[in-house]
Amino acid sequence: MAAPRFTLGALACALATLAAHAAAADGAPDLVLLHGKIHTQDATRRVVPALAVRGNTIVATGTDADISALRGPATRTINLAGRTVLPGLIDAHTHPAQGAQDLGKCNLSDAALSSEQILAQAKACYRANPGDPRHWFEVTQVNPSAVSLSLADLDSIAGKRPLLLLGSDGHTTWANSAALAAAHISAASKDPVGGRIERDAAGRPSGTLRDAASDQLQLARPAYGLAHQAAQLGRAFAAMRATGLTSVQDAAVDDATMQIYKRLYDEHRLDMRVRASYTLTDLGAPADAVVAGAIAFRTKWAVDPDFLRADAVKIFADGVIEYPSQTAALLEPYLDASGRPTSNRGPSYFTQDNLNRIVSAADAAGFTVHIHAIGDRAIRSALDAFAYARTQQKTDNRDQIAHLELINPADFPRFKQLGVIANFQLQWAVKESYIVGGTLAYLGPERSKYLYPARSLLDAGAVIAGGSDWNVSTFNAFEAMEHAVTRRAGRGADPLLPEQAIPLQVAVDAYTINAAFALKQEASTGSLDAGKRADFIVLDRDIFSIPAFDLHATRVLATYLDGREVYHASTKRAAGAAR
């Protein structure tokens, strides 16, 4: 099946020509950086002191003498005074447009709270700031580890106003009676494909909804206007630039999400490269129909090959592993709290045969296939689908599996064999409440040796890309790098499988050149090579020579995107956005 593809090279030439018109007439660089420690992240991971930019493009890297000699009368010079420079960071799995809509809402910060504490805080929020009464009241970042809320509990928070509590795992939603009624979710409702409506003994919805069961609520909820949504996204991107991000892969978009990006783009405020993964929702439908929908979507949203495109598809292969959700698909059953096997292996959201066909058809159409897989059975099933696709055609689509919480060791070598990128969220690879309270006991000691096995995949030759899954977690990549390198939540904390720690250089690769590869934009970003776009960041410290436990405190002093300064620490332009 022929597919329209962006010719990045041709466009690069066109843009470079345009930029050159704006640049100095004498052909000299517009900007040079001198006296720095510039980690180019090129093929040999060269560190150089100097770099020159013309228009939106890096024109040279090298010694202070070589780069100084290129300067013309109009060239601006920045003396880095020994500071460290990295390529602009790339978040390979995040949800900016969606996550941004929660900025300013009641936020429980993913704290491990009891049901009573959650009720008390939600009520306090509602009293303090009920917000626009035409909209539903929403409480975000609710840590689901220890929550058991009845419908009566939920109804006690905001009375007759529709209410949603949104789980920080991204897979659990609690709704009060008014919200359930507005969404027509009742005892007669069937569980949708890919989701579960929790029920009481009489079969009535109890207010807890898993995965796709919450889609109906999202549809029933009155939407904010596009201008509001775009402004929220603008706030989120400003905050991301302040932590060094210059490119993102949105891991799950639909038409409404793309409209938010397009609005910012049309307003010339999209200072972030966005590559979007279109969520395939009906995994029971014939593959041709599913992929035809994705192709139409890609064509519609091919806005700008450098800044806004939707040439990836997203598939949810399972849910989450933590108790009480336990919707991740496991090869062997979950254990109960005392270590005895249950009958639950987690749901299957599709048949393997149909997944194979959909993945192969999407691959043949030139999409990057991005699969959410948490449990060892979902990961194996995703790998099996990629293996099937490889028997059908040879492609180079940077297919990837995200999250990778529990991998069966037999599958470690398959990532390299099949050319599947390991898209990790290593912020999570520490002993926090989800792991300690909700995972270890339910998997047992044997399986728990393979949680977020980053080092094992590295040793098995896999390409590792990094992502935050914001707003499930912070988008600050330096915090995730610290956890990837230490496997600890902080100095003195108990480690989670310290043998699975990866070197800092590998973590930096994951957020630069490897993430660029995953986004199919390594020809223009991900390293500081002559000819690539001038996306780079200046740091307040040399991350390669500090204690790993200080990585999270790294501050970005300036962020450049396409040769333009889009963040400067002293301007405080990024103030306001959370996490």
Residue 374 in contact with Zn ion, rule: CB under 5 A: no
Taking the complex as a whole, the smallest distance from the CB of residue 170 to Zn ion amounts, in Å, to 6
**Of 411 and 469, CB closest to Zn ion:** 469
Taking the complex as a whole, the smallest distance from the CB of residue 251 to Zn ion amounts, in Å, to 4
Contacts of residue 180, Cβ cutoff 8 Å, sequence gap at least 6: 186, 205, 207, 217
Residue 469 in contact with Zn ion, rule: CB under 5 A: yes
**Of 91 and 153, CB closest to Zn ion:** 91
**Of 96 and 526, CB closest to Zn ion:** 96
Taking the complex as a whole, the smallest distance from the CB of residue 97 to Zn ion amounts, in Å, to 12
Contacts of residue 220, Cβ cutoff 8 Å, sequence gap at least 6: 179, 182, 183, 184
Taking the complex as a whole, the smallest distance from the CB of residue 426 to Zn ion amounts, in Å, to 14
Span interacting with Zn ion, options 64-72, 131-139, 143-151, 250-258, rule CB under 5 A:
250-258
Taking the complex as a whole, the smallest distance from the CB of residue 318 to Zn ion amounts, in Å, to 12
- The residue ranges of DSSP E strands in 66-200, in sequence order, are 76-79, 84-87, 89-94, 106-107, 137-142, 163-167, 172-175, 195-199
Taking the complex as a whole, the smallest distance from the CB of residue 468 to Zn ion amounts, in Å, to 9
**Of 50 and 251, CB closest to Zn ion:** 251
CA-based nearest residue to 434, from 282, 510, 324: 324
Residue 251 in contact with Zn ion, rule: CB under 5 A: yes
**Of 245 and 251, CB closest to Zn ion:** 251
Residues in the interface with Zn ion (CB under 5 A) total 2
β-bridge mates for residue 249, sequence order? 275
| Collapsed DSSP state (helix, strand, coil) of residue 441 | helix
**Of 232 and 471, CB closest to Zn ion:** 471
What sign does the dihedral 284-286-287-293 (CA atoms) show?
Answer: negative
Residue 328 in contact with Zn ion, rule: CB under 5 A: no
Report how far apart, in Å, the C-alpha atoms of 103 and of each of 319, 391, 457, 505 are.
24, 45, 35, 33
**Tokens (6 digits) for 479:** 């915090």
**Of 59 and 315, CB closest to Zn ion:** 315
DSSP state letters, 293-305: HHHHHHHHT--BT
Taking the complex as a whole, the smallest distance from the CB of residue 91 to Zn ion amounts, in Å, to 11
Taking the complex as a whole, the smallest distance from the CB of residue 223 to Zn ion amounts, in Å, to 21
Using CA atoms, how far apart are residues 468 and 466, in angstroms rounded to an integer? Answer: 7
Residue 211 in contact with Zn ion, rule: CB under 5 A: no
CA-based nearest residue to 455, from 464, 446, 466, 445: 464
**Of 178 and 373, CB closest to Zn ion:** 373
**Of 306 and 432, CB closest to Zn ion:** 432
Span interacting with Zn ion, options 465-473, 477-485, 506-514, 528-536, rule CB under 5 A:
465-473
Phi and psi, residue 524, nearest 5°:
-120, -15
Helices and strands: H and E segment counts in the chain = 19, 24
Taking the complex as a whole, the smallest distance from the CB of residue 93 to Zn ion amounts, in Å, to 6
Which residue type occupies 323? Y
Using CA atoms, how far apart are residues 544 and 84, in angstroms rounded to an integer? Answer: 9
Q: Which residues sit at the interface with Zn ion, rule CB under 5 A?
A: 251, 469
